[in-house]
Structure 1
Amino acid sequence: MCRDYLRPVLLIFASIAVGVVGWSGYMLLLPVALGFPVLWSIAQTRSVAALVSAGYFLAASRGLPQGVAAFYSSDIWPGLLLWLCASSSFVTVHTVFWTINARTRPLRYFLAVVVMSIPPFGITGWAHPVTAAGVLFPGWGWWGLGLMTTGLAGLVTRIWPAVAIALTGFWLWSAATWTDPKIPDGWRGVDLELGVSLGREAGLQRQRDMIATVRGAATDSARFVALPESALGFWTPTVERVWTGALRDGAATVIAGAALLDAGGYDNVLVAIDRKGGRILYRERMPVPGSMWQPWRSWFGESGGTRADFFTNPVVAVGASRAAPLICYEQLIVWPVLQSMLHDPDFVVAVGNGWWTKGTSIVAIQRAATTAWAKLFAKPLVIAFNT
């Protein structure tokens, strides 16, 4: 009887360990997440598979309760509720697709991988093991993604030890030869440490401080400067005039986060500003569900919240190049980056405003995931975060 309980308990604890280590924010540890499909496949009942899935996902997203509490300046309970709700899609998908039939298990797990990569379930498709493709197969592009997907399916078969050994070999070789993605020529990303005030303090002095930061970063070799999400606050004609005037005597182009407000809600955007003026460069495809994207408001005739542009503007033109923009939450899920890569951009621009994640590994995980995707497709990467 004890043995009947011991195996499931060990699988659950192992899945928690895999989630904690794989999603610790250390990029070269991302392949540890590949332990999840193995544990899922050797669960002997559907209920144990559900618990294994829950243990992995909750451990991987463990920073969410504390982050939500900080974001709303509340106690831990709203964060815990959101944490559990967010896990429901991952657990449901992996519970439904689990099977005791070893012959059909690879196909069913492949379907779970696909379902968790695209909307609607992919909206909360964090901690996806396929993200490790960039660590195991840097520079392999779509071939590497295909090999990663094949490897994931192989990890749920009876020959999973051989597959695991092969993937470990790729992992060790990659770790031994690893180099970070290059920064695009002529670009510089600026990290800020302005905390909660970024995007909320919108006075003229804050804009002047930002302008001074850009002038310090812009040089002859760096004509494009990226600022974090929400760096400009609300994008208005007045803000545009202030920045255009400040850039009139230089050749720099600023790419910065802002909010574009109207009667129905707002868009989380990136704007491009130079001496000729400013323009909306990019509208976020997938804002944070719950805190930003609140589609249920429209069901009750209410306005507000951030709009989700889902599959629009996967790449944008910046100068003579094409960039794949990723704002904050988009760096944690799969489909925005893959949609952008279908258009073969020249580089990736990743920005975020992570002040609310203090004391968690969320920003480190965002950086690690974005770096892994950039390495997989051999794309230069520019990052700008506020903490």
Structure 2
Amino acid sequence: MRHDKVRTTLLIATSIVAGTLAWSGYALLLPVAFMFPVLWAFAPTRLTAALVSAGYFLAASRGLPQGVATFYSSDLWPGLLLWLSASLGFVGVHALPWTRYERRRPFRYLAAVLLMAIPPFGITGWAHPITAAGVLFPGWGWWGLAATTAGLMGLVTRMWPAVAIILAGFWIGSAATWDEPKLPESWQGVDLEMGASLGRDASIEHHRDLIATVTDRASGGARTIVLPESTLGFWTPTVERLWVRALQGTDATVIAGAAVVDAGGYDNVLIAISGAGAQIVYRERMPVPGSMWQPWRSLLGASGGARAHFFENPIATVADSRIAPLICYEQLIVWPVLQSMLHDPDVIVAVGNGWWTKGTSIVAIQRASIEAWARLFAKPLVLSFNT
């Protein structure tokens, strides 16, 4: 009995370490997440498998309570509640298929991998080990994704030491030759440090300051300039006229985040603006659950909240390039980027408004995750964040 308690404690403690290291914001550490399936397989009981899953997931998403508290200007309790609630899906998906029979284990774990990658469980499918595919197999594309999946299945069998050695070899080789995804020619992502004011300050002076930033980058040779999520605030005819007029006489195209509001709620969108006009090119597929996406409101007869366009518009065409747009939360989960990659885009455009994550590693994790996906599919990457 004492031996079982010690074993369980060690498994849980190791899962916490794995979640902390893998999701620390460094792309090359993402393969540490591969410790999780090994620990899951070592669990002697279903309860232990659930505790191991909880330890890994809660450690990986440890910045959430503080981030939510900052976003709502409240204490930690709402964030802690959301943190624990989000973990239930991950824990349940991994606890239920757990089995002590080795022959069944790889297929049971594969089921968990697939369930956490797609809705509905994939809606909170953060910290998915499959994200490390781009670190292990950069440039392999879908073959790399298949190899990573096979590796995950192998790690829950008795052959796990051999599988781990092979994967470690690819990891070391990749780390020795690692370089960041390339920025496409004449594209530029702009990082801002405007805090909570971005998207909330609707003054003309605020927009003119942003326009000055854009024209400065355009004078330096950039032709397609990407600004963060929520940069334009509420998208109105007045804001549209202001930006279109400011860009007339230039060759610049601006891609920027905004919110389009109607009586039923709002869409978190990306707008493409040039001197010739402006258009909505992307509506966010998966807004942040809870703070933005609130599906229960419609069930209660209330309006408000962001709409989720789950499998819509995976690709947009801007400045003669086919882009894979990813807004904020979409960079932490699996299916939006894979859906976009099915259409073989020219470039990945990832934006975010992470002012509320100050003091956490959330933005760094977003950057590391999307960098890994861009490396897996050998796609140029444009990043733009506000902090």
If the length of structure 2 is used for normalisation, what is the TM-score? 0.99
What is the one-letter code of the residue matched to 2:369? A
CA distance in 2, matches of 1:319, 1:278: 12
Q: Which residue of 1 aligns with 2:124?
A: 124
Q: Which residue of 2 aligns with 1:313?
A: 313
What is the one-letter code of the residue matched to 1:239? V
**2:311 aligns to what SS in structure 1?**
coil
Q: Which residue of 2 aligns with 1:105?
A: 105
Q: Map 1:147-166 to 2 at 5 A.
A: 147-166=147-166
Q: Which residue of 2 aligns with 1:348?
A: 348
CA distance in 2, matches of 1:319, 1:231: 20
Q: Map 1:30-69 to 2 at 5 A.
A: 30-69=30-69
Structure 1 stretches of 4+ with a deviation exceeding 3 A read none
CA distance in 1, matches of 2:379, 2:52: 35
Please state how far the C-alpha of 1:3 moved relative to its aligned partner: 1.3
Q: Which residue of 1 aligns with 2:266?
A: 266
CA distance in 2, matches of 1:217, 1:30: 33
Contact 2:224 2:253 (C-alpha < 8 Å) held by counterparts: yes
Please state how far the C-alpha of 1:342 moved relative to its aligned partner: 0.3
CA distance in 2, matches of 1:324, 1:104: 37
CA distance in 1, matches of 2:17, 2:354: 25
CA distance in 2, matches of 1:285, 1:219: 34
CA distance in 2, matches of 1:181, 1:327: 18
CA distance in 2, matches of 1:269, 1:139: 30
CA distance in 2, matches of 1:219, 1:365: 32
**1:218 aligns to what SS in structure 2?**
helix
Q: Which residue of 1 aligns with 2:184?
A: 184
Q: Deviations over 1:270-299 (max 9, x none)?
A: 000000111001000000000000000000
CA distance in 2, matches of 1:159, 1:360: 37
CA distance in 1, matches of 2:15, 2:67: 23
**2:81 aligns to what SS in structure 1?**
helix
CA distance in 2, matches of 1:214, 1:86: 38
What is the one-letter code of the residue matched to 2:294? Q
CA distance in 1, matches of 2:170, 2:66: 35
Please state how far the C-alpha of 1:386 moved relative to its aligned partner: 0.1
What is the one-letter code of the residue matched to 2:272? A
Q: Which residue of 2 aligns with 1:136?
A: 136
Q: Deviations over 1:149-208 (max 9, x none)?
A: 000000000010000000000000000001110001210000000001101111100000
Please state how far the C-alpha of 1:221 moved relative to its aligned partner: 3.4
Contact 2:224 2:319 (C-alpha < 8 Å) held by counterparts: no
Q: Which residue of 2 aligns with 1:223?
A: 223
CA distance in 1, matches of 2:298, 2:347: 36
Please state how far the C-alpha of 1:2 moved relative to its aligned partner: 2.1
Q: Deviations over 1:89-146 (max 9, x none)?
A: 0000000111101000000000100000000000000000000000000000000000
What is the one-letter code of the residue matched to 2:206? R
What is the one-letter code of the residue matched to 2:215? R
> How many equivalent pairs are there?
387
1:288 partnered with 2:316: no
Q: Which residue of 1 aligns with 2:2?
A: 2
Q: Which residue of 1 aligns with 2:328?
A: 328
**2:378 aligns to what SS in structure 1?**
coil
Q: Map 1:75-94 to 2 at 5 A.
A: 75-94=75-94
1:211 partnered with 2:222: no
Q: Which residue of 1 aligns with 2:175?
A: 175
**2:201 aligns to what SS in structure 1?**
coil
Identical positions, percent = 71
**2:117 aligns to what SS in structure 1?**
coil
CA distance in 2, matches of 1:113, 1:350: 24
Q: Map 1:363-382 to 2 at 5 A.
A: 363-382=363-382
Q: Deviations over 1:70-92 (max 9, x none)?
A: 00000000000000000000000
CA distance in 2, matches of 1:79, 1:58: 12
RMSD between aligned alpha carbons? 0.6
Unaligned runs of 5+ in 1: none
Please state how far the C-alpha of 1:219 moved relative to its aligned partner: 3.6
**1:103 aligns to what SS in structure 2?**
coil
Q: Which residue of 2 aligns with 1:237?
A: 237
**2:348 aligns to what SS in structure 1?**
strand
Q: Which residue of 1 aligns with 2:27?
A: 27
CA distance in 1, matches of 2:323, 2:244: 22
**1:28 aligns to what SS in structure 2?**
helix
CA distance in 2, matches of 1:279, 1:329: 23
What is the one-letter code of the residue matched to 1:322? R
CA distance in 1, matches of 2:320, 2:251: 14
CA distance in 2, matches of 1:219, 1:85: 48
Please state how far the C-alpha of 1:220 moved relative to its aligned partner: 6.1
CA distance in 2, matches of 1:202, 1:161: 57
CA distance in 2, matches of 1:85, 1:186: 43
